[in-house]
Structure 1
Amino acid sequence: MRSKPYVVGFFITTSLRLTIFSAVSLAIIASPCPGEFILFSGGEPAFKVVIGGNPSPTEEFAAEEIALFTQRMCGTRPQITSEGSTPPSKAVVLGTPESSSLIRNVSGPLQLDRLESDEGYTLRISTERIYIGAKSSRGVLYGAYELIERMISKATGMEVVSTDFRIPLVEFLSLKDQTIRSEPYFPIRATLDHEDPDWLARHRVNYSLAEGVWSGTGVDDGIASAFKYVLAPRFDEYQDEPWLARWERVNRLTGRFRQLKRRGIEPYLFMYLMGEPTKALIRNHPELLGQSLPEDSFDQTMPYHPLCWSNPKLRELLRDLIGEIVRTYPDLAGIHLRAWGTETRPCRCPKCLGREGKLLWEIIFDLIDAAKAVRPDIRFCISGYEAKWLKDPDGVYLSKLPSGTIILKKWGLDGEPTDDPEIGEDLIGRFDGGKKLVVISHDVEEVMPLWMFEGDLFASGMRRYLSGIYEGRLGGFTLQGGVGLGILDKIVSAALNWSPDTDYLSLIRNYLTSIYDASSALHILKALQASEHALSSYFSDFCGTLSITGGYGKGSKGFATRLWDLVGDKAVRDTLSIPSKEKAESAVERLTSLLPQIQLSANEMALAVEEKRRDDRNGDLWLEDALHMMRFWNEFFGGRLSLVEAVQMGFESKPPDRIADKLNSAMEHSRAMKIEVNRINQFVKVFGYTDRYCRDSLSKKLDEELYLLETFDPRKLMRAEEGSAMHEGNEELKIKELMNVPNPCGNRTSFIWVLSGEGDEAEISIYTLTGRRAMRFDHLDARKGRNELDVQIDLPNGIYLYKLTVKKDSKRVSRIGKLAVLR
């Protein structure tokens, strides 16, 4: 929904790119009556908050928020009262026409019928009264925050503000007569984190799509372990947790869902399809399982036991479970089902193999029917649509999903740091008014457990898709950011979801100024933007220094790499194995071009710390962590530049002592990286890891690369011809397993191969039965253990052979599989 500004008497449209006033697209209407509404004077409120005779819990909360923020500004909380026969002369009146007769009596002047969205509101400020009117309770709440933001703006002297600002105590505050109407551009403004309900409400977030457990592993966050959400005795034989632990969880979630609902936020319980089963299910009901897969388990204490998706008893159990979950939580708005990657691993029995996609869709519709049989208003969110498992090339399954279903799509291919979320017209064209596509814009996985600023990337990417076929079909974007100064991304993404016009840079500067001061704020913003540019560029191709995603020069797109993949023995060996002088020269050029930006980010953050004039306990901690992260990346880029310069010198047959100097320089940078890592206090909670684990595991990785460099013979890099100096080892390389799923396949399939050891690279060729090569995929992963490639198959129906070839040094090993294409 596009935010629409209004002027009394006629309608004015405005360019989406124009910033109208504040963090939302607004128009301000000068009152014909001069004067101002006095909110407080001499530290005492000059008004009462009046709610309707039949207020909803959300409207009551809106009144409490106005009272709370008034108290924060003047030191005294105003009285909240219900409307009566003689309302106070000075009052902030809020409600809907249904809940408040005072709002109903002024609904004409408020022109609520001009609002297209139920979440829109009108804020009317006059000398004696402030009216906050809307069609829904949620709109009333958002109107209350509009008033609060106006108060913060007046108190701070800043135009673009949010409720996060540090608010000064003021003796006197008044607001000019004016009328403000606003409504959201995007109808779905969601979080995928466990956020404070108050924070979400204050930023007009209306969906919390990841309630419950989401560890990102599939071990404890799938439907196969969702028995912990219910207390019914018939599920006891599937439970790993004692009754008391489950009772505490049920009560905790019940209370949280009630909190969220009171704040106008729709809670959705998250679960993977399928995840790993409980140990009790494995022990008591082996008949529900497929063959165990020892190499696939995230839980290192036991093999992975997939559920048999075609088993009727399992399907009935899941229907019963989802129904009981819905009964257990009356304030639950929906269920979020996620089918993705290794967390969704199928059974390989003859009844399941080759039918995985069809079976998974059947299970989804089973769960929807079972949930709606208990509560017809329950809704669903599906993530992983058209990714690996939930293929729907013709949109048939999407058309069968009930109205109100939310479909999640990752930013780009797999959330990589880029300014284009890549929302294809073919995909968005499938959506109608009843279903919405929402883009997952979470934190950058590539830098985890650190964080990086993404505000510019987010704003640019969102604004690409606001018009044409996307308008009305694109539901919104999820929040991103959160740890330390990463909260800036969260504030920005929330504001832009309400109005993409928002002057987000002013919002960031003003927020930082409210915590530190204007000078430090400018330095921080420069540092964050410089690192954002450098890191997003680096991850586009790893500057040609790593081959972990299929070859040197390939970036992180489509791969869930983390910081642990960028440091350590294996990463350094990979960089020192750059196979040609040309690639080494390119890597030197790329790193040299980005290093000044990273140096600028570290220098600007240091200036911010030096020039800071105001103390804030949390703010100071955030700033220190940001400084250490910028310094870490400065050392990282400097160290990797030294490594590729050493490789380049090796191809140029430079003396070993000069190559050793570069390797020694890389070691100094690695030592400095370790120092900075150990100075960071707060890390992103990836996989539920503690701050200590993140710190210790990264330090261990850096110790690995230091040991490698200390013992490395620089003469190994002296090679005139293309080759690898580092892929060593006597372990015999074998292809332990090769398959593709689904098989038969339609337009896409995933090749999976398991290796006994580390190879250099792999390739897959597909042949017709007459021996003609039809397709080829090269420069693929050859990691020890499981490797996977999801590809589009543009071949006619028929039977084909495919050959996997894995190279290591001068050796090759191969294995042949059979592929059926059937549409």
Structure 2
Amino acid sequence: MNIFICKEGKPACTIVYPNKANSLEKLAAKEVAKYLGNITTTEYKVINTKQSKQLKTPSTFIVLSTAEHIKEWDKNISFPDTLKDTGYIIRSITNVQNPIIFIAGKTGKGVLNGAYGFIEEILRKESGKKFVDIDFNLERKLPTLSIPPLNIIDNPYSSVMGMELDGFGLDNKSLLNPATSEYMVNCWKNLVNWCRRHKVNFITNWPYGGESMNDFPNIVILDRKKYPKAVSPFTDDEIRKAAKIRRECLQYASDNGVDPYLMTYVPGWYTTTIRKNYPAYCGEGSHGDSDGFGSRAFDWGNNDFHTFLADLTEAVVKQYPEAKGLHFRIWGGESAPDVANKHRKAELIQKMIKGMVTSAVDTRENIKFVISEYTEFGDKDLTYLPQLKALSPNIIIHRKWDEDWGVSNNPRIPKAPAWLNTNDGVKRGVSMSIPNEEAIPLWFPTVRFYQEGMLKYLKKGEETINGWPVNYRDWHTDNCDNTLNLTAVMKLSWDPFDFDYKRYYEDCFYFLFGKESGPIAARAANLSSEALCDFLYDYGGIVDGMDSKNYLNITKALIGKPGKSRYGKYVGHILEKESRPEDLLNIKVRIARVLPMQEEAVRLLKSITDKVTGNREMFENMLNVNEAWLYLLKSRIAAVDFVLNKNNVQDSKKYLEEFLYLEDLLAEKVNLLTNTSAQSMFDKTEDIKNGFIRQIRQEQEYMRKTYLK
């Protein structure tokens, strides 16, 4: 017999949390009431167990409780031994006077996840769609709503579900500036809210915003007896003022069931203040960057410097009790050793990490850690792992999905026994970028890559890899279909086996654009995905030597400034191949292979322009991005034809004019976007967009002056 939630516009249920509920149990109850209100046409009471016993009117009870408090209602409710801390059960009991729906978990986080799982179960039932999302709305309100009896055990595959925020450092400069502080705090809260709704376990922010990739000296005040001279250019009052805002942000995450981590590069680079006041900590950089931050390497062999890192860590743990964990990232030039100690880098990075972890645990025993890309320093088999495990039971080691800026469906999972099917108490996570950086500043669908990549390594019933946290490089996903990439990773992390990326797109666009236009938009997204993934993994064959060291994106590799550097090419990657006609023909073949798919994607989207019933801005951005990509692909073919026909004046002029015209169309479509992105850049859509268009215009001007005579 169905259980009524709402009858003819009146509530038929009451939401209940335990008498001694923790904050997440109460939040879960409020969220169920809020979302039921969105679905139906009424409001729902949220009360505690004691108040529910005093109700005289018969009512269905929706009870949200942890295992600790469930006995207030039923001593016989059992939890499977296999239920994870973030999993949940939803169970109906109808053989009582007032039907009961239990939404329960071992922890408050599990209960909160169950609240959203319960609402999504209703969305599935009412829409008939398999893939729903807590942020979707039904086409109409339901004045009467009933659900069948439920007996659900929903357990996540991944125990590591996190969000890394690139370009979101919560640094002093941003937090102390009245023009940016409120904006950053609001963005942080919005991201935490998204994480909460999508069952994310932790959030960690990258330390951009200052002189160094190690921002710890700027966010704490060290013991003045031990460090009489300043380690930061900020005054103590400024550090306290920024810390107050930062602590409030961290607390907000904790209050919403998302563990906040403070992240830093180890060891990062020294600043001008440290160079001035503690020169003994500073060495000579080995990064090969004579002028930039990469030249500012610390002296890795100086024991006093190691003590300095440990003292900074202790201060961070003490002064930020709201932080549930620390994230130590060891990566590339940000963590390059000094010249004198380059041959000892593996030994010394181990020493640094050991000192920092030990200092943190001595200060707060239960503090958690994420340690990223440690294998960058020569410990691929993780022989050092037992030492880390001995220091703390709360460690996640973590590496990138692919080479830097790589677009592939092949995660870089090391061979067993270091990573696969391990059972040593240390969690392992493989992070993926959203979106893959090559596409910046435009979006494109990548869900297929994530699904295919995961399934290469996962087995049902075994947590082969512990999770797939998102490297959220470009965190403004509002009003664009990139939101679907982000949501898909969370759904894949929860259940990677019961997923179909084509069905996922179709169901999502049904909710977003309406039942008539949704399936067509899904076909377009799949075509665009095929075309752009094919093109992007090597820029259609345009860029020579595409590999992990070729840090390029669309505004650098394909559209840039004339010059000799790899970042300044305009269409140099094509123009410079004049003596290599076979390579130019191969480029043309590569792009011509994907062009029909992109043309069809655009045609399909245009065909539903007048049929989209919701999220109009998202649709317009999706259409304009797809058209922009189409004109970019065509303009590269025109550039190839121009070079191949340089000796034919009439033909070369025709192809050059075609190239210039296509770039006009590209700029026109970019100008229509209300969402663009740039890696590790403050979220300024108009500035990013204008910069992109400026580069297109400069490229056109260069071609006109050089070749159009």
Residue 213 of structure 2 corresponds to which residue in structure 1? 222
Q: 1:324 Cα deviation (Å)? A: 1.0
Q: 1:558 Cα deviation (Å)? A: 5.2
- What are the residue-to-residue correspondences of 1:726-745 with 2, within 5 Å? none
Residue 121 of structure 1 corresponds to which residue in structure 2? 88
Q: 1:157 Cα deviation (Å)? A: 4.6
Residue 73 of structure 1 corresponds to which residue in structure 2? 39
- Alignment check: 8 A CA contact 1:151 1:173 kept: no
Residue 267 of structure 1 aligns to a residue whose secondary structure is strand
Distance 2:522 2:219 in 1: 43
The percent identity for this pair of structures is 22
Greater mean deviation of Cα atoms: 661-670 or 303-312: 303-312
CA shift digits 1:546-567 (9 cap, x unpaired) = 22xx3xxxx3555332122221
- Alignment check: 8 A CA contact 1:415 1:440 kept: no
CA shift digits 1:530-573 (9 cap, x unpaired) = 222122211233223222xx3xxxx3555332122221331412
Residue 133 of structure 1 corresponds to which residue in structure 2? 104
Residue 652 of structure 2 corresponds to which residue in structure 1? 659
- What are the residue-to-residue correspondences of 1:178-577 with 2, within 5 Å? 178-193=150-165, 196-208=191-203, 210-211=204-205, 213-214=207-208, 219-220=210-211, 222-223=213-214, 225-232=215-222, 234=224, 237-291=230-284, 296=289, 304-348=295-339, 350=340, 352-387=341-376, 390-402=377-389, 403-426=393-416, 427-429=418-420, 431-442=422-433, 443-467=435-459, 471-479=462-470, 483=477, 484-500=480-496, 501-547=498-544, 550=545, 555-557=546-548, 559-565=550-556, 566-568=558-560, 569=562, 570-577=569-576
Residue 238 of structure 1 aligns to a residue whose secondary structure is coil
AA aligned opposite 1:487: T
Distance 2:35 2:84 in 1: 26
Residue 606 of structure 1 corresponds to which residue in structure 2? 606
Q: Tell me: CA distance 1:704–1:370, structure 2 relative to 1, closer, same or farther (3 Å).
A: same
Distance 2:692 2:160 in 1: 37
- Alignment check: 8 A CA contact 1:97 1:103 kept: no
- Alignment check: 8 A CA contact 2:286 2:336 kept: no
Distance 2:629 2:419 in 1: 37
1:63 maps to 2:53: no
Q: Tell me: CA distance 1:488–1:176, structure 2 relative to 1, closer, same or farther (3 Å).
A: same
Greater percentage in helix = 2
CA shift digits 1:744-789 (9 cap, x unpaired) = xxxxxxxxxxxxxxxxxxxxxxxxxxxxxxxxxxxxxxxxxxxxxx
Residue 371 of structure 2 aligns to a residue whose secondary structure is strand
Residue 690 of structure 2 corresponds to which residue in structure 1? 696
Q: Tell me: CA distance 1:232–1:45, structure 2 relative to 1, closer, same or farther (3 Å).
A: farther
Q: Tell me: CA distance 1:239–1:163, structure 2 relative to 1, closer, same or farther (3 Å).
A: same
Residue 46 of structure 1 corresponds to which residue in structure 2? 12
Residue 122 of structure 1 aligns to a residue whose secondary structure is strand
Distance 2:522 2:290 in 1: 42
Distance 2:161 2:708 in 1: 54
Distance 1:446 1:380 in 2: 30
Residue 401 of structure 1 aligns to a residue whose secondary structure is helix
State the number of aligned residues: 653
Distance 2:302 2:261 in 1: 27
Residue 386 of structure 1 aligns to a residue whose secondary structure is helix
Residue 147 of structure 2 aligns to a residue whose secondary structure is strand
Greater mean deviation of Cα atoms: 181-190 or 96-105: 96-105
Q: 1:75 Cα deviation (Å)? A: 4.3
Q: Tell me: CA distance 1:610–1:90, structure 2 relative to 1, closer, same or farther (3 Å).
A: closer
Q: 1:81 Cα deviation (Å)? A: 1.9
AA aligned opposite 1:410: K
Tell me the C-alpha RMSD between the 2 structures.
2.7
Q: Unpaired runs of 5+ in structure 1?
A: 1-34, 716-823
Q: Tell me: CA distance 1:700–1:97, structure 2 relative to 1, closer, same or farther (3 Å).
A: closer
Distance 1:583 1:477 in 2: 38
Q: Tell me: CA distance 1:97–1:478, structure 2 relative to 1, closer, same or farther (3 Å).
A: closer
Q: 1:436 Cα deviation (Å)? A: 2.1
Residue 101 of structure 1 corresponds to which residue in structure 2? 71
Greater percentage in strand = 1
Find 2:115's aligned residue among 144, 152, 165: 144
Distance 2:453 2:631 in 1: 30
Residue 636 of structure 1 corresponds to which residue in structure 2? 632
Residue 610 of structure 1 aligns to a residue whose secondary structure is coil
- Alignment check: 8 A CA contact 1:282 1:289 kept: yes
Residue 181 of structure 2 corresponds to which residue in structure 1? none
Find 2:623's aligned residue among 614, 627, 643: 627
The TM-score with structure 1 as length reference comes to 0.75
CA shift digits 1:421-451 (9 cap, x unpaired) = 1323244248434112211111211111222
Distance 1:303 1:444 in 2: 24
Q: Tell me: CA distance 1:393–1:86, structure 2 relative to 1, closer, same or farther (3 Å).
A: closer
AA aligned opposite 2:60: K
Greater mean deviation of Cα atoms: 512-521 or 320-329: 512-521
Greater mean deviation of Cα atoms: 164-173 or 498-507: 498-507
Distance 1:384 1:196 in 2: 24
Q: 1:179 Cα deviation (Å)? A: 1.0
Distance 1:55 1:303 in 2: 50
Q: Tell me: CA distance 1:456–1:703, structure 2 relative to 1, closer, same or farther (3 Å).
A: same
Residue 53 of structure 2 aligns to a residue whose secondary structure is coil
Q: 1:220 Cα deviation (Å)? A: 4.9
Q: Name the larger-Rg structure.
A: 1
CA shift digits 1:487-513 (9 cap, x unpaired) = 001111111111111344444333322
Q: 1:303 Cα deviation (Å)? A: 8.7
Q: 1:173 Cα deviation (Å)? A: 0.8
Greater mean deviation of Cα atoms: 451-460 or 396-405: 396-405
Residue 112 of structure 1 aligns to a residue whose secondary structure is coil
Distance 1:620 1:535 in 2: 23
Q: Tell me: CA distance 1:708–1:544, structure 2 relative to 1, closer, same or farther (3 Å).
A: same
Q: Tell me: CA distance 1:430–1:75, structure 2 relative to 1, closer, same or farther (3 Å).
A: closer
Q: 1:294 Cα deviation (Å)? A: 11
Q: Tell me: CA distance 1:546–1:303, structure 2 relative to 1, closer, same or farther (3 Å).
A: closer
AA aligned opposite 2:410: D
AA aligned opposite 1:502: F
Q: 1:86 Cα deviation (Å)? A: 2.8
- Alignment check: 8 A CA contact 1:480 1:490 kept: no
The TM-score with structure 2 as length reference comes to 0.86
Greater mean deviation of Cα atoms: 155-164 or 335-344: 155-164
Q: Unpaired runs of 5+ in structure 2?
A: 166-187, 563-568
Q: 1:679 Cα deviation (Å)? A: 2.1
Q: Tell me: CA distance 1:183–1:293, structure 2 relative to 1, closer, same or farther (3 Å).
A: closer
Residue 736 of structure 1 corresponds to which residue in structure 2? none
- Alignment check: 8 A CA contact 1:56 1:137 kept: yes
Distance 2:609 2:61 in 1: 44
AA aligned opposite 2:650: D
- Alignment check: 8 A CA contact 1:639 1:670 kept: yes
